[in-house]
Every structure is written in C-alpha cells, then in structure tokens.
Structure 1
Amino acid sequence: MNDTAGRHWLPQFCSLPTLFAVIVVAELVALVVVLTPNAPGPLLPRIGIVSVYLQWLALLNAVVLCSLRGVLDRLSPRSGLLLAWLVMIGVTALAAALIQAMDHALGLGLTGTDPGPVRFVAANAAICALIGAALLRYLFVIGQWRERVQAASKAQVDALQARIRPHFLFNSMNTIASLIRTRPAEAEGAVEDLSDLFRAALGSADASGTLGEELDRVDHYLRIEGLRLGPRLEVQRDLVALPRELPLPPLLLQPLVENAIYHGIEPLPDGGTLRLQGRRLASGIEVRIDNPCPATPARRGGNGHAIANIRARIGYHFGDRAALETVSGTERFTVVLRLPLESIR
C-alpha cells in the first residue's frame, strides 16, 4: 500500500484561507493582464470583465480540485501534484473554449476577433500552467510547514504532560500509605480517586473530555489532599455557572489546583483557603484559582513550569482563542484561565 494513503497533503481548496489565496492570485493576474501595454478598450470596463472571468475560472478550478481531493490524496505527492496541475490546465482550456464559443455566438468580441479558438484557449492554458504550478507548490509547502509545526507542538505537549503526571503521584501514594493501617476505608477511597486521575493522565494528549469530567477530577484530587492536609485545607467553590458539557482536554484544571496547594497552602503552618470560581463570558468561560501566598516563599521548583505547561497545552488546543493569566499580590496568588466555547482542536 502507498504510504501516502490517508494523508491529506493536498490543500483543502474548499477552505476559506485557501479560497482567499486563490481569489487574491486570480485578481493579481487580472491586473497584470489588464495593465498590459496596448491593451484595447477603456481601463475600468476591462478590469471588471477580466476580473469576473478570472475569478470564475479560479473558483471553478478550486471546486474541481476540492471534489477530487480524495482521489489525489491516494497518490504520492509528486504524482498528485502533477495530476492536479494537469486538471487545472484541462479545466481552464475547456472553460476558455466555452467562453469563446459563447462570445462569438453573441458577437460581443470580448475574446478577440480571431474566429478560431486555438489562440485564446492556448493563452489561457499557458497562463494557468505557469500560475497553477506556482500556486500548487506554494500551498503544498505551506501545508507541509503547518503539519511540521503541529507535529512539533504535539510532541512538546506530550513531553509537558508527562512532566505533569508524576507531580501528584508521589504525594498521593504517601498519603494512601499513611492511611492503610489506621483508616483503611479512606485509603480505599483515595485509591479510587487516584485511579480516576490516572485514567485521564495515562491517556493520549489528544484525548478529549468535558469540563464536567475535569471538575470531577479536581474533586478527586482535593479529596486526596484533604486527607493529607486535614483542616489546613479549606476549599470555597463557585462553579455552578460553568457548562459541564463543554469539550475540554483532560488534566487542564487539576494541575493548576495542585500548583495552588503545593506552592500556596501547604507551606503555610495554618494552611489556607483555596477559592475556585467560574463564570460564563460572551464567547467562553473564565475559571479563577486563588490561593494564599506564604510571607516567605518556600524554595520549591516547578511553579513557573506548571504555569508554562498549561499555557503551552491551551495554546496547542485552542490557539489564540484561550488565555492563561496570573495575578500575584502580597497575600494572594490568582490564576485566571479563559477558554472559548468552540470545540477544541
């Protein structure tokens, strides 16, 4: 089997960015044709006629290539690009012949006075061959670059997520070990909570869940930490406004909650209050995680890494549609996470 099968190396000509690029190229070609020295007729009418014709021709080619994408993707990139290029030339030649026949039948004289179709069709095919080859090559290179960037981003996210997973494991196992003899029922519940957390942590970085599932994981984690810290940990929740059905990557909120406890509450002799607040925005949601700050910060590594890890993950899944901000005060440290309502990537 061809190793390129199933790979969408050909640009998606039905997508808006590709259509926009095709339209821009067609309009540039129209301007070059119109501004050719000694071109007959007034300038503005010629611009309108040539633009309409070339835009129609460009969109026609885009629709044909879009419909043939499944066939072309089954070929090797070199063979597929060659076939796509030949298809563009053939479609252009047939369309040019049709337009010239209609023009001569109506007597408009828009395609010239030559009664034979060879010159007009050949000129259109030649221009399409040159412009089409450059455009296909450009779109192919851009598509390959985007795939490499996405692959590199996914590899980075996998590495970052792998660094998140051990963070809560060691504390959890120590807590469970200390409870086995004295409080076995609570130890059993902690094991169940830990298993639910690791079910998500051991999944793929591309796995998708919901906000409700992630909030449940936060509850699992807080129950484990509650056993370890006891009355030193107080939690205030105001999350009822959040849509639980919202698609969300797993382990996006839990590491931030863990970060707040590990760096904010645990170093304090008397502990502190963790505040979790959520609200809906016009185009998304906002989650605030607020924790007290020790007067003398404990020398614990990983705070900046944890924030950077989550920021990288939301950048991979949501792009510029999401944001992670931190607000550091003298007494409290707040993380503000804003996510869109649209589906994740």
Structure 2
Amino acid sequence: MPTSLRAQESSRGTDLAHHWLPNFCSWPVLVALIVIGELTALVVVLSASDVNVPRWQQLGVASLFVQWLAVVWTVCLCKARPLLLRLQPWMGEFAAFGVMVSTTALASWLVFAVDEGLGLGLVDRAADSIRFVVRNSVICALVAAAVLRYFYVQEQWRARIRAEERARFEALQARIRPHFLFNSMNMIASLIRARPREAETAVEDLSDLFRAALGRENAQGTLGEELDLARGYLRIEELRLGQRLRVQWQVDGLPRDLELPSLLLQPLVENAVYHGIQPLTEGGCVSLVGQCSTDTLEILVHNPCPPATAPRHGNGNGMALANIRGRLALHYGERARLEVAQGDGWFECRLRIPLAQQPAPHR
C-alpha cells in the first residue's frame, strides 16, 4: 500500500477515534443537556408524587437545580475537553463521567448547606445532607451514563459521515481532473504540427493549471486561484476553438482572497464550452459575472447551447453539477447552493457562496 494511502487511512482512523466527545462549548449541546435535565426533573417529581398531582413549586425548584447543573456540566466539560481528548476514549469517557458526578455531588452539598443556613425550606428537611447528596449523585450517574453514550454514538456517526464525504469528494475530484487532462492533451496533439508555437504555449498553460490544481495538500483554495484556473482553461480552449469561442469577464471587485473549495469554477466553464459552445457551428460567448452582496458572493456562468432536442455529449454535465453541489454541501451545508436555469438556446449556472467563513454544520 502506498505511503500516502496509509497516511490517509491513518488520519481517518485518528479522526474517528477522537470524535467521541461533542463540543460542549456549542449551543446545541447545551440545549440538549437542558432538555434532558428538564425531563429528568419532571420524572423525579412525578415519581415522588405518587398518585397526587405534582406540586409545581417542587417542580420549579427541581428544574432550577437541574438547569444550573446542566450549565455547570457544560462549562466544566467545555474547559476540560482539550485534556479529555488527549486520553484514550474509554479513559476520557470515565473522566467526563467523573466530572459530571463529582460536580453534582459538590453542587448538591452546596445547595443543601445554603438552604439550611438561610432557612429557605426548599430542600426536604426529612433528608440529611448525605442522603440528599447520594440520591442526586446516583440520579446523575444514571443520566450521565446515558447522555455520554448518546453523544459518543452521535459523534462517531458524524465522524463517519464526514470521512465518507471526504472520500466521495476526492473520488469525484479525481474523475474531473483526468477528464480535463485528456481533452487538453488531445487539443495540444492537434496543434503540434500545424501551430507548434501555440502548442508550446498551451503546454505551459496546462502545466500551470495542473500545478495549481494538484499541488495542494487540502481541498481549499481562494477565489483568485479559482478565477485564474478558469482563465487558464479558457485560454486553452480558445486555441482549440478559435473565433468560435468568445469570453466575457465581469469579475472586478470580487474578494480574491476569499477561501473556497478547489475546482468550483473550472468545471462550470468546461461544461459551458463542451456542452454549449462546441456543438454550435457558430460558437458563442461564455460570460462570467460576479457580484457581492452583504453576506453572499454570487457568480453567474452563462452560455448559449443547442436546443433541448439536440443530441448531448454524454452525461458529464450532470456529473460536474452533482460534484459541485456535493462540495458546497460538504463545506457550507445549506448556506451555499448551485442554481441551474435553461431556456431556449441558453444555459446558466448561478453559484451562491456565503462570505462569512463559518464551519459547515454537522449532519
């Protein structure tokens, strides 16, 4: 097995091993703990009320205590998470379990002492401090075991989904690059005898394109790099198609340093040429128009195309669009989208990407 493949499998295995504990510094986890705590308080009050109607004061006190504990758990595990992830998963689970039970015991003792000192009467006077602390600790132990197990299973599932999406992304990306390479090499081969100087220039452009596209170790680039890749590709196609291909750029003022997944624009302009311009005897114009609103970058790729009833060149167009939609979903979730529209003799793709650099939500 090649070293690069072993490294990729090792990194994926490490990624799965370290996704056993959620990010307690996030609102979704805090809300989940609050809901679980409130359900626990309701069950405790109902079970202690026998057949009578539960006392709402008792439920209110229990809810306040449990919600306070949920916040304390969240803060403690949020701060301790970097240390817990350094341990083996089973050791980290026991450590997190110990943190939750110990904070519950300490909080219970503190509440009992404050209630007794101030004479508030919120805690049942029939129970001493040891019984109160032990009872709450046992309830916490049962709830904490279930909660940590739930989070463990959920985080493992999310990590596997992310690993599968990365593998799918790499496979789809690998299918696009040879497709472009084969088309370009065929074009260069056709130029060698008739126009050797232009063929040499095309080889240099192709070298620059693949150095930029294949030289990265990650799947991230910038908008400026994406525009340069699209320009390089279109220069090569202009050599092949001549006057049949015209290009119109309206991308001034766009943030070139905006981070993007790599190879978003090049497949769109390749489809515009291959499925739109090439089948037309008279050719046509590919236009790229970009604009920015308050929080969204929008790039429109427009091209003429044959009638809908005309024969099509394979299914590469659908593959590329599905590829780009998969990349957008992987990196941005529902905050980015690719919209496609087609009319009588024209086709356009509208790419919408958020300007705010936020992580994609886990699915």
TM-score (normalised: structure 1): 0.92
Letter in 2 for 1:157: F
In structure 2, the residue matched to 1:311 is: 325
Structure 1 window deviating more from structure 2 (91-100 vs 106-115): it is: 106-115
Q: Secondary structure at the match of 1:168?
A: helix
Q: Secondary structure at the match of 1:35?
A: helix
* CA deviation string 1:110-143 (max 9, x = no partner): 1221473111101110110011000000011000
In structure 2, the residue matched to 1:235 is: 247
Deviation, structure 1 residue 194: 1.3
In structure 2, the residue matched to 1:166 is: 178
* Alignment check: 8 A CA contact 1:11 1:139 kept: yes
Structure 1 window deviating more from structure 2 (239-248 vs 249-258): it is: 239-248
In structure 2, the residue matched to 1:323 is: 337
Work out the CA distance in 1 between the residues paired with 2:49 and 2:187: 87
User: In structure 2, do the counterparts of structure 1 residues 42 and 303 end up closer, same or farther at CA, with 3 Å as the change threshold?
Assistant: closer
Could you tell me which of 35, 44, 47 is aligned with 2:46? 35
Deviation, structure 1 residue 263: 0.5
Letter in 1 for 2:325: R
Work out the CA distance in 2 between the residues paired with 1:212 and 1:333: 24
Work out the CA distance in 1 between the residues paired with 2:200 and 2:59: 78
In structure 2, the residue matched to 1:224 is: 236
Letter in 2 for 1:71: L
Letter in 2 for 1:310: I
Work out the CA distance in 1 between the residues paired with 2:281 and 2:194: 24
- Structural mapping, 1:60-139, within 5 Å: 60-114=72-126, 116-139=128-151
Structure 1 window deviating more from structure 2 (266-275 vs 5-14): it is: 5-14
Could you tell me which of 141, 155, 169 is aligned with 2:167? 155
Work out the CA distance in 1 between the residues paired with 2:278 and 2:93: 60
Structure 1 window deviating more from structure 2 (8-17 vs 174-183): it is: 174-183
Deviation, structure 1 residue 276: 1.1
TM-score (normalised: structure 2): 0.87
Work out the CA distance in 2 between the residues paired with 1:9 and 1:139: 7
Structure 1 unpaired stretches of 5+: none
Work out the CA distance in 1 between the residues paired with 2:114 and 2:257: 56
* Alignment check: 8 A CA contact 2:20 2:151 kept: no
* CA deviation string 1:142-183 (max 9, x = no partner): 000000111111111111111110122122223333444554
RMSD of aligned residue pairs (Cα, Å): 2.3
Work out the CA distance in 1 between the residues paired with 2:335 and 2:143: 35
Q: Secondary structure at the match of 1:69?
A: helix
In structure 2, the residue matched to 1:194 is: 206
In structure 1, the residue matched to 2:313 is: 300
* CA deviation string 1:23-57 (max 9, x = no partner): 11111122223334538998443333222211111
- How many residues matched? 343
Structure 1 window deviating more from structure 2 (180-189 vs 56-65): it is: 180-189
Whether 2:292 is the aligned partner of 1:275: answer no
Letter in 1 for 2:111: I
Letter in 2 for 1:60: V
* Alignment check: 8 A CA contact 2:18 2:89 kept: no
Work out the CA distance in 2 between the residues paired with 1:110 and 1:281: 55
Work out the CA distance in 2 between the residues paired with 1:38 and 1:321: 48
Structure 1 window deviating more from structure 2 (211-220 vs 274-283): it is: 274-283
Letter in 2 for 1:116: D
Whether 2:33 is the aligned partner of 1:22: answer yes
